[in-house]
Structure 1
């Protein structure tokens, strides 16, 4: 078992930022050959690291600190009126928790990227990209498949930590905009934390000036990791 203090860290060269066209980004990541135990992964999440495929990483930009790790303290969370409507609108969905994505997951992912993220760095989608990004889970990764009747309409990829769930990625059928399936995926994971008696849902990086990443503060209260301390915003 590797201790978090003993892990080797690597830094990327500056590269184009995924969120701001006029900025460069730099990332530090954990040695991908290191054996990361569940407790160490949980500790790294508390320190602001995220998982993408088999990489654990954290932004380390020289001139920008816009990416701020966020998490929801689930016992304090109170859904807004809009969020309660989303829950009600989707109470006919059935969730299946699997240890790997099923055969319907990639076609749904491809449809989602083509329909919602043609301007992003995951376009065009490919099966290799899907496998390396979402298929390489940990032993504690769960793939929550949401069904409307026999139709798969959303998949939420989530990692189980010692103190919460880490919402890795949610993709869904863009033909159901009225259902707000992305919102529902987060609300479902908050409820799942309650069921498992886990105190936090880790939501990834909140970026105030990026519309795609600003939504995390819609889930209140939210905690943001600033100057190595989790600060609660209500």
Structure 2
């Protein structure tokens, strides 16, 4: 039994399944999520024991585990949907708000990163065809801000550092639109025409930048200092309501 359980193939397959389990149990009550993860871990162990007793090798076992995991995805998602439905209504509301806020901040980060990438592409093109003799400082700034935004956006995936990531994202968000506009003035003929014809582009880009940065700061403060009514508070309140109530 130890040969299969200690094999690299089994361990890799098991880690993949457990990562998937941790992902689709995220945001649920820790007791519920932990029970599901323990159930899957136990099932993987029993599968490995059965494989050892049946003379099945590590490679074949790993393929079997991968196949079971793929076939079980619909059932796993259905289980999560059922678990969410059993949550306190207030907790479901908090989850929806959290998801919506995260989606908005991630979108801002992706827009910042895309803008920095666009400036980089235009810069390379302008250098190749000889439109510019040297790199504009605004282009360097826009590309650097886009890179910072991309790092911050990836960091949003971790709940523990999400608040700091949103706060970091506010910095490039507040600056990149103006920097990109100034860079494109040197790199794009269309941008030159737009700047010359639209007199209000500078206050408009500044207003948009500050508004989106304010969203990032607001999200950061929410995630760094959770206010009353968060999921943890609701679970604690629900537990307190049942204290002292005898079981039927």
Q: How does the TM-score come out when normalised to structure 1?
A: 0.22
Q: Which has the higher contact order (CA 8 A, sep 6+)?
A: 1
**Bigger proportion of residues as strand:** 1
Q: How does the TM-score come out when normalised to structure 2?
A: 0.21
**Bigger proportion of residues as helix:** 2
